């Protein structure tokens, strides 16, 4: 009957090649599905209560051990805490300033210790022996040197030129800044002006107000323990002419004008231009980092114990422009201490109109001053820096007196702090009567100036 037909029993029938391949594909696909499910359920267990692989979940189900996988744990990121702002520590520094150091011939002669030789030898260190401890305690000390270091022969009034040894004595006493712009800075002409600025710089001082050449700055910014203070020094001019400025009635030598910081308070057009120039320099120092400004001015009227109208106007203009501290000298007597308020910002400015004389040869009877020309003060200003900025915390004044000690042929001059000398006058080569009289004059003049709540002003002994 022909061939036997092929069996249709699936169990008995031999699969074809294509059927085998299809079966393999189904097995691979099925395994892939199971593996994908296992991976999904493994990750799912992290959020739905699954424990370790093979352990029942809270619902009682478990994953088959044969297809278990260890899921990579994922954790929520721990937020980085916001750092607290670092508190800026308070910084306090003090500067001290003194008035006129002027080399009268008697002062120069009093410092002569070895007349033989060329040049002769001078030592003025003893003149400062009693006030050096006060000066050395401050972070920065400045003095007004009124005159020149023009070299020998040395001269006194009216054209001052002292020995270089006075610079050594000032440095030894603790002074580091010299205010050199004053009405006697051209007493020895252009050469004397340049030599003075050079000698002080060569001896380690910062000199403000004058310079030896046009490449050297006349002002500066000092950094005192993190407080940056801009320092400037200007002197008043006498009227002069439209063609040439003058200082102390002396026409400025050719080439001197750009070497001196000066202003003319007696001619309004010139004054307006000069004030603008001062404020431009203030702005430049702020751009250099100055956080506060100290401007020293050689100004006022000689032997008057109170400022005059043009000084008061200028001080207010400087206050309105943001100058925080003004220190004056030139009148050769003490004048008031004032606090001005800016009409622009409401901030306050501390003004010492005149610090009086610090070293010189004045007598009780000089020009009818009845001892006032022998009195002086050390101004001591405390600056405070906080996160809010730099402010003046307080202003102090330390009364001083110039003791003249007769040597038979001349005078020795010693600067003494009045209040300590009241307690032990012999230790300061003076007398109780001399010290009491000086203290009474200073107290009468200055005791009413107590400042404000923001900037208190007070007397200090040392």
CA pair distance 35, 15, nearest whole angstrom: 28
- Burial status of residue 445 (CB atoms within 10 A of its CB: 0-12, 13-18, 19 or more): buried
CA pair distance 384, 393, nearest whole angstrom: 6
Query: Residue ranges per domain, the chain?
Result: 20-67, 91-459
Closest Cα to residue 112, out of 404, 362, 409, 358? 409
* Tokens standing for residue 255: 């080439």
Only one residue has tokens 């057009």, namely 269
> What pLDDT is stored for residue 420 in this prediction?
98
> What pLDDT is stored for residue 455 in this prediction?
98
Question: 254-285 burial by CB neighbour count: b if 16+ within 10 A, else e?
Answer: eebeebbbbbbbeeeebbeebbeebeebbeeb
270 secondary structure, DSSP code:
H
Tens digits of residue pLDDT in 255-314:
999 999 999 999 999 999 999 999 999 999 999 999 999 999 999 999 999 999 999 999
* Tokens standing for residue 241: 């002419």
Only one residue has tokens 């920065």, namely 140
> What pLDDT is stored for residue 409 in this prediction?
86
Could you say which of 3.40.1160.10, 3.40.50.410, 3.40.50.300, 3.60.21.10 is the CATH number of the domain covering 91-459? Answer: 3.60.21.10
**How many other CB atoms sit within 10 Å of the CB of residue 3?**
5
> What pLDDT is stored for residue 242 in this prediction?
87
HSE-CB for 366 with a 13 A CA cutoff: 15
> What pLDDT is stored for residue 290 in this prediction?
98
Question: 300-318 burial by CB neighbour count: b if 16+ within 10 A, else e?
Answer: beeeebbbeeebeebbbbb
> What pLDDT is stored for residue 208 in this prediction?
98
Tens digits of residue pLDDT in 48-98:
333 333 333 333 333 334 334 445 455 556 667 676 666 678 999 999 999
> What pLDDT is stored for residue 224 in this prediction?
98
Q: Which residues of the chain have pLDDT under 50?
A: 1-70, 72
Phi, psi of 270 (to 5 degrees): -65, -40
């Amino acid at each position: 009957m022909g061939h036997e037909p092929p069996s249709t029993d699936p169990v008995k029938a031999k699969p074809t090649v294509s059927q085998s391949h299809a079966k393999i594909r189904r097995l691979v696909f099925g395994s892939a599905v199971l593996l994908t499910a296992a991976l999904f359920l493994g990750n799912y267990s992290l959020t739905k209560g699954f424990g370790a692989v093979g352990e029942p979940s809270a619902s009682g189900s478990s994953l088959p051990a044969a297809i278990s996988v260890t899921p990579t744990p994922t954790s929520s990121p721990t937020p980085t805490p916001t750092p607290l702002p670092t508190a800026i520590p308070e910084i306090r520094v003090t500067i001290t300033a003194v008035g006129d150091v002027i080399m009268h011939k008697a002062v120069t002669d009093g410092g002569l210790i070895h007349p033989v030789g060329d040049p002769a030898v001078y030592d003025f260190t003893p003149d400062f022996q009693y006030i050096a401890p006060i000066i050395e305690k401050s972070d920065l000390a400045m003095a007004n040197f009124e005159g020149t270091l023009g070299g020998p022969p040395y001269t006194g009034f009216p054209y001052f030129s002292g020995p270089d040894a006075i610079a050594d004595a000032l440095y030894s006493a603790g002074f580091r800044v010299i205010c050199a712009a004053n009405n006697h800075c051209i007493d020895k002409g252009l050469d004397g002006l340049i030599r003075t600025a050079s000698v002080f710089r060569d001896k380690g001082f910062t000199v403000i107000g004058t310079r030896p050449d046009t490449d050297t700055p006349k002002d500066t910014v000092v950094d005192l323990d993190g407080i940056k203070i801009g320092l400037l020094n200007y002197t008043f001019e006498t009227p002069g002419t439209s063609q040439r400025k003058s200082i102390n009635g002396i026409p400025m030598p050719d080439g001197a004008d750009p070497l001196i910081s000066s202003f003319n308070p007696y001619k309004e057009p010139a004054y307006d231009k000069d004030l603008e120039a001062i404020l431009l320099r203030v702005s430049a120092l702020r751009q250099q980092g100055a956080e506060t400004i100290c401007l020293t001015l050689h100004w006022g009227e000689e032997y008057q114990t109170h400022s005059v109208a043009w000084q008061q106007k200028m001080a207010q203009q400087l206050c309105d422009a943001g100058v925080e501290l003004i220190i004056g000298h030139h009148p050769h007597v003490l004048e008031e201490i004032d606090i001005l308020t800016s009409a622009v910002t409401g901030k306050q400015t501390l003004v010492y109109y005149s610090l009086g004389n610090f070293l010189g040869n004045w007598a009780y009877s000089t020009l009818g001053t009845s001892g006032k020309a022998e009195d002086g003060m050390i101004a001591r200003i405390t600056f405070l820096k906080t996160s809010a900025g730099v402010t003046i915390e307080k202003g102090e004044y330390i009364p001083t007196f110039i003791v003249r000690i007769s040597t038979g042929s001349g005078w020795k001059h010693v600067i003494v702090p009045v209040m300590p000398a009241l307690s032990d006058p012999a230790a300061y080569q003076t007398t109780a009567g001399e010290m009491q009289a000086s203290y009474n004059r200073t107290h009468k003049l200055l005791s009413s100036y107590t400042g404000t709540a923001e900037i208190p002003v007070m007397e200090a002994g040392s």
